[in-house]
Each structure stands twice: as structure tokens, then as C-alpha cells.
Chains A and B, each alone.
Chain A
Amino acid sequence: MNAIPDRHDVIISGGSLTGLALARALSDALGPKAKIAIIEKSSQSLSLSATNPRAFAISKAAQQMLKVLGVWPRIENEAQPVTNIEITDSSLDDGIRPVVLRYDNTLDDGAPASYIIPDQTIGEALRALIAETPNVEIIAPALIETYQLETGYAHVQLQDGRKLRTKLLVAAEGRASSLRDMAGIKLVTCDYQQTGIVTQLSHELPHNSTAVQHFLPGGPFAILPMTGNRSCITWSEERALAQNLMKSDDRTFLENIEKRVGGRLGKIQLQGPRQSWPLTMHLARSYISDRLALVGDTAHGVHPIAGQGLNLALRDVAALAEVTAETWRLGMDIGANDGTAGGLSKYQQWRRFDSLTSTAAYDGLNRLFSNDMTLLRSVRSMGLGIVDRLPQLKHMFIKEAAGLSGDIPRLLKGEAI
């Protein structure tokens, strides 16, 4: 006789920021009796990863959520407020970059509408927090080989032969997700033929808490302010050129950055490594299946133009934690995909449309700017110029970017579930 496999309430596949944040949110919302596990393929990525140059924009709403989850006090010192945003769209060789749109990125109460925080800082804080969360178990290194549905549970088999069962399985595996494939959920994808490059700089002059977005024909080039005289460069470039840039020596690489940054930051220096990845947009055809939910990059990927990737992922986390807690507190089955107005169906309804519109909006913005046609240029200058002149429209714009508009989950309003 085989032993009855370990019983879990939620198993999260993937120890990404999304997976860790979800485990924390569920532990808070479901209480200490809930049994939660994170399955992570490498035990290393859960300890301390090598220097990672990425940084995320954290909207006001996401900040409120991180406060409720207890993450914010641990990352606050590394959080750089963004109080101004400047947008330019001159071509690369223009000597001067006239600013098309400059706006005050603060909310009515003067608080910044967003922050820039290093990926690594958020990751370390979440991992430390999870280590202190008694009802979240980390199973690593491990990988899910298969899962099967049986009455009341999803039975999960790990590659090393271990068996587990769970009421709810969550895929937080990033863009390439084996659970999503096993569930037969297809992706709608679009390849931008662009590559994203990320690196960090230190500079002579202060950035004045200003984020800069240069819309260049090869793709958007963003200078995101970090604490101290440091910035994170998030750069989208035509694929062939990007590959050459990645191969180039530090001097050539830095020269190319200097050319794009201009003189605004004084003398600049590279800080740490560069990273690159192909830019694609993708959206899962469904966010749920029986006993399965997709979150974060497994469900959707947006163009990094807007730095919204983590914000959108945290929206998934907040929504899934909330609907799961509602079901849990009625004593019902949290993994049931029964088409009723709660639980997984509510998660799907709540999140998929929002992701779809965001994905389409950022896609449109990128296409509009990744083009050198004069007509398009005058249209986009005019469009942003109009936003600049109408305070109310701008206010709406900022509120949307802060993640405070629409029907938002409680965690994002800064309320515990």
C-alpha cells in the first residue's frame, strides 16, 4: 500500500516574486491552519541570486499592498520615489531632446504615484518573510512532473518521485510554464522583434527623482531613478543591434548608453552586469482550469515599456488571495472550478479583462513610438501634448498608472483581506 500523499491547501509552483507574494498573502488571509507549499526548481534562486540589475516600478497601489503584507518596511530604504516623469521622442542623432511631456507624478496628497525598487531587494525581503511564515513550506529543489485530478484534490507528482495533493494548484512559473501546458491552456503571443536590455549606472549628477522615457525608433529607453546617484536603464532595442550591444565590451556599451542618456546625469559609470531577454507580449487564453490558477507572467506578459509587469502580477496575487479567502471562509472548496460567481471563476473574470486591456494598451504605446514616420510622430506629439494641457485627463492618467482606478482588490487599497 502506498502512503496517502501529504495534503496541502495550496501548492504554488515557482518561487518568483509573484509566487512568494502569493504565499504570504494567502498565509495572512487563510490563517495558520492553511497548509501552503512553494515548489521551486532551484534551491539557489531561493537563497541569494547573483547580482541582478533589474528594478521594478511599484505603483502606489502595489506599495499599499506590500505594506499590508509586511514587505514594505524591509524594502523602504531601497525604494526611490518617482516624483516626475519626462517623455521625449527625438531621434537618436538629434543634439537636443525636447521634452514632449513632463508631468508631476504625485497624487493629491503629494505622495509619489510610484517607486523604483531593485528586483533583488524585493526578492530578499519576500524570502526572509516567507522563512518566518510557519505555514508556508518551501520544497526545493523540486519540479512538478505531472498532476492529475481526483475527487477533491489535484494529485501532484514531483520529478524525484514525491507525491503531494492539494486543493488548489497555482502556476507562478514565469512565461514558460509546464503546468499551463499540462492543463492545455494556450498562449496568444506576439514577438516584438525587440530585445530588452537592463543595467545599472552610477552618475555624477542627481536624478532629481525623475524617470525619463526616451521613445527612440529602436524602442523605448528608460532611465529609472534609484536611491543615491544611481539609475536603472531599461532599454528596448531592435534584436540584431541588441545582440551586438550585449557582446560589446564595457566601453562600447557605455558609449552607447551615454549617447542615449545625454548629458543630464553628468559623468556615468556602469554598475554591475547587463542582462537581456527577447521582448514578447503574451496572454493565456484562460487564467484558470480545474484546481489550477495562473498568476503573473504565466498568465500575461506586457511590454516593459511601462514597467508594469510586477504591478500587474501583484494585482493577480491580490485578487486570487481575496477570492480564495472568501471561499475558504465559507468552508467551501477553494480549488473548485464550478462556474459559480466565486472562487476561481471570479478570479478569471476579475483579472483577465484587466490584463487584456493593459496588454493591448502597452502594446499600442510601443507600436506608436517604435516608428520613425513623421506623420505618426506629429500625432503622438499632439496626443501627449493634449494630455499635458488638460489637468483632469492627466490626473486620470496618473491615477490609472498608480493602480488606484477601477474595481481593485482589497490588498491594493491597503486593506487586509
Chain B
Amino acid sequence: MTAKAANLDEAEVARFGALASKWWDVNGEFRSLHLLGRSRLSFIRDQLVAHFGKPVSEVSGESSPARPLAGLRILDIGCGGGLICEPLCRMGARVTGIDPAKENIEAARAHAEIDDLDISYQALTVEALCKRREEFDAVICLEVIEHVPDPKIFLLECSKLVRPGGMLIVSTLNRTMKSYALAIVAAEYILDWVPRGTHDWQRFITDDEMTGMLRESGLVEPKFRGLVYDPVGDTWQLSHDVSVNYLVAGTKPPLSDKS
């Protein structure tokens, strides 16, 4: 990294960049992200459809379940290898994915080519994108905020990229005793689900802190959903229990509401 970015942990960027080739290996280092995929994508899809309404198919005049996000401009911050960008694109959205690690962007581009997916991937920081004054219908930022030195500023920057009336979706880990036991001790040391040192518990954010930070960033009506591991099915389910992993969707009020 040559350009020094303010709110970036370079060691973290380098660590994920080194794993760039592994993003799509379902049995590799990012297996846990693949296991989370279904639940995360259902949350994102259902929140966006509830907020923006179902797009209507030009052909049949009925809503199209195959492309529920048609017409939406979506930004994925910290897109990694494109695990979320690709499904969003197939669901009809116009997707931009940014990641500070160049290796990730290269891996993501190469993978999108396999299916000819038209996704705009750029090796950029949030700060750099903010300077371009771009706005999106929805901004998504999954499992990133706990790797950033100043989450408060980071969230504020993210929210600048959301157009008035748009939505921001964030996921992270809660700072509870349960998350310490599960996300650090169990996942990194006992079960080897994620590489050791992936997470620093001190950087996890409680749901109350998240609500406050979202409000300070101008985002209202946060909708939380937890992710709970079901050991029998080896799967993650959406739940009301937000004590370990959670997703939250906040909305930016439309301009007319402010006056």
C-alpha cells in the first residue's frame, strides 16, 4: 500500500489480501462466510425489497422473484472476493464493489468473468469514494467494521454514500461474553473455523452502540437480526438473538422529511 489512508488498519488489509485466492473455496479459510451466505443474503434481499418495494417485470407485469433487486444501485464496501456482489448482481442490482486490498479486487474480477457478471470492482477506500460524491440506493458493509480503527467515523463515511431515502446494511459481531466464547475461543482456537487472529474482541460493537452510531450518522429505524449457529444442520439461521453475530439495516430519511 502506497497511499496512506486515515481509517485503515494496514496489517488487516494485508492479511486479507494474502488470502485473496481463497475467497471462493467453500472448504477453505472463508468457509464460515459461505455458511453465512444464505442467511445474510436473505436478510439483505428481504430488507431491500421491503424498503424499496418489489420491482415489476416488464414482460408479465408481475413481480419477478428471480430479479427482486432489479433497478437498485448497490455498493458493497469491503467486498473481498465478491461473495456478496455476485448474488446481488444476479438478483438484478447494479453493483459496485470496493476493497482496499488490490489482490481482493483482482480475485473478484477474475471470478465475475466466469459468469460474465457486470460488476464494477475498484480498489478503493471508503474515504476515496466519498470524495467522488457518489451516492447509492443501498450500501452494504458486512464483517468490516470490526476490522476498522475508528468505527464511528467509518460508519459516518459509509452513510454519506447512501442517497436520501436509501438504506445502509451492516453486519458485525456483538461484544458480549457469549461472542467472546464463540467467535474467539471456539471459532479460532477450538474449531479452527477462521484463521487465528481474525478477530479482536475489543473491536466488536454492541447493538446499543450500533444504534447510537447509526443515529449519529443520520440513519434511523434500525432493524436488527441475529445469526445463530445450528450445530445439527451445520448452518446459520436468522434469529432475534443478536448476542453473537448480527445484521442491521438503517434508513436515511428522504430529503422532504427533513424540512
Q: Which residues of A does B touch, CB under 8 Å?
A: 30-34, 151-153, 325, 328-332, 336, 338-342
Contacts and interface: CB of A to CB of B under 8 A. Distances in A.
Contact of A31 (B65, B115, B230, B233): B65
A331 B87 contact: yes
A229 to B, nearest CB: 45
Given A151-B24, A339-B234, A342-B38, 6 more contacts: A31-B66, A328-B66, A330-B91, A331-B91, A339-B26, A341-B233
A151 B38 contact: no
Contacts of A340: 26, 34-35, 37-38, 234-235
B68 interface: yes
B37 A332 contact: yes
15 contacts: A32-B59, A34-B66, A151-B114, A328-B66, A329-B91, A330-B41, A330-B87, A331-B90, A338-B26, A339-B26, A340-B26, A340-B38, A340-B234, A341-B38, A341-B234
A320 to B, nearest CB: 17
Nearest to A31: B66
B198 to A, nearest CB: 20
A30 B235 CA distance: 24
Contacts of A336: 26
B7 interface: no
A341 B235 contact: yes
Nearest to A332: B87
Contacts of B91: 329-331
Contacts of B103: none
A153 B115 CA distance: 9
A330 B69 CA distance: 10
A203 to B, nearest CB: 49
Contact of B45 (A33, A330, A342): A330
B99 interface: no
Contact of A331 (B34, B64, B89, B114): B89
A265 to B, nearest CB: 50
Interface of B: 24, 26, 34-35, 37-38, 41-42, 45, 59, 64-68, 86-91, 111, 114-115, 230, 233-235
Contacts of B26: 336, 338-340
A328 B65 CA distance: 9
Contacts of A338: 26, 34
Can you list the 4 inter-chain pairs with the closest CB atoms, starting with the nearest? A331-B87, A341-B235, A331-B90, A338-B26
Contact of B115 (A30, A32, A152): A152
Contacts of B89: 331
A336 to B, nearest CB: 7
Contacts of A32: 59
A330 B38 contact: yes
Nearest to A153: B114
A152 B59 contact: no
A336 B111 CA distance: 15
Contacts of A31: 64-66
A263 B111 CA distance: 70
A152 B24 CA distance: 10
A325 B68 CA distance: 13
Nearest to A349: B233
Contacts of A328: 66
B188 to A, nearest CB: 20
A325 B91 CA distance: 12
Contacts of A339: 26, 234
B152 to A, nearest CB: 32
A325 B65 CA distance: 9
B170 to A, nearest CB: 19
Contacts of B66: 30-31, 33-34, 328-329
Nearest to B65: A329
Contacts of B35: 340
Contact of A329 (B34, B68, B234): B68
A336 B230 CA distance: 21
B139 to A, nearest CB: 18
Nearest to B83: A332
Residue of A31, A33, A328, A331 most packed against chain B (CB within 10 A): A331
B238 to A, nearest CB: 12
Nearest to B89: A331
A109 to B, nearest CB: 30
Nearest to B93: A331
Contacts of A331: 41, 86-91
Nearest to A343: B38
A3 to B, nearest CB: 15
A29 to B, nearest CB: 9
Contact of A332 (B24, B38, B234, B235): B38
A152 B90 CA distance: 14
Contacts of A332: 37-38, 41, 87, 90
A233 B35 CA distance: 50
B36 to A, nearest CB: 9
Contacts of B88: 331
Nearest to B84: A331
B65 to A, nearest CB: 5
Nearest to B41: A330
B81 to A, nearest CB: 12
A33 B235 CA distance: 30
A151 B89 CA distance: 19
Contacts of A329: 45, 65-66, 68, 91
